[in-house]
């Protein structure tokens, strides 16, 4: 059995980032990769950087209720999302979950039964039923949630 040993330097580096960015608020500010790289003395393409930054982002979310989103920063770093943006982020992930379930169902249904073992066929049947039930029960709710954050469509003018 492989024993995973925790690197104590990771916690030290996470604390360093917390000290360098002590006043993080959910206000939309951007933290660039260059700022984090300078604090850590590590390149953003290294596993060390990714490990420390992931742990730091989880800690900031847990302790300060600030979500640092990398997608909103478009590759420049991280954005401390405002409360409204956090809700939109949740909506984006809920919509993504629906698409992932539909794609997983399509992929799992593709192989021919003859090419699968008996055990895998049983598992696929169980998986297919479960995913179909989830989509049937929650599909309308997922669509309603998606529509709720979209701006109202303007009605056409009558001439």
Do 77 and 94 have their domain in common?
A: no
Instruction: Specify the pTM.
Output: 0.68
Task: Domain of residue 127: give its range.
Answer: 84-148
CA 22 to CA 31: how far, in whole Å?
Answer: 12
Q: Look at residue 117 and tell me if it is in a domain.
A: yes
Instruction: Give the model confidence (pLDDT) of 16-55 as tens digits.
Output: 999 999 988 989 999 999 999 999 999 999 999 999 999 9
Q: Look at residue 102 and tell me if it is in a domain.
A: yes
66 vs 58, 77, 109, CA distance in Å? Answer: 9, 15, 40
Q: Look at residue 153 and tell me if it is in a domain.
A: no
- Beta pairing class for 68-69 and 30-32: unpaired
For residue 155, the 8-state DSSP code is P
Do 139 and 88 have their domain in common?
A: yes
Of 31, 50, 81, which residue constitutes the final position of a domain? 81
Q: Look at residue 12 and tell me if it is in a domain.
A: yes
Task: Supply angle C-alpha 51, 57, 63, rounded to 5.
Answer: 130
Do 36 and 58 have their domain in common?
A: yes
**pLDDT score of 89:** 83
State how many domains the chain has: 2
Which residue positions in the chain have pLDDT lower than 70?
142, 145-146, 148-155, 158-159
Q: Look at residue 157 and tell me if it is in a domain.
A: no
Do 68 and 129 have their domain in common?
A: no
**pLDDT score of 45:** 94
**pLDDT score of 131:** 84
């Amino acid at each position: 059995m492989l024993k995973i040993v925790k690197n104590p330097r990771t916690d030290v580096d996470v604390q360093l980032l917390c000290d360098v960015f002590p006043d993080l608020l959910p206000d939309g500010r951007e933290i660039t990769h260059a700022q984090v790289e300078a604090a850590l003395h590590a390149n953003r393409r290294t596993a060390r950087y990714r490990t420390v930054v992931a742990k730091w982002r989880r800690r900031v979310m847990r302790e300060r209720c600030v979500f640092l989103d990398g997608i909103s920063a478009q590759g420049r770093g991280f954005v401390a999302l405002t409360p409204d943006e956090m809700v939109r982020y949740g909506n984006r992930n809920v919509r993504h979950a629906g698409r992932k379930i539909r794609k997983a169902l399509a992929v799992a249904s593709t192989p021919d039964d003859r090419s699968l073992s008996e055990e895998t066929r049983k598992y696929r049947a169980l998986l297919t039923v479960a995913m179909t039930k989830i989509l049937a029960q929650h599909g309308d709710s997922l669509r309603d949630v998606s529509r709720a954050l979209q701006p109202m469509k303007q009605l056409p003018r009558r001439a």
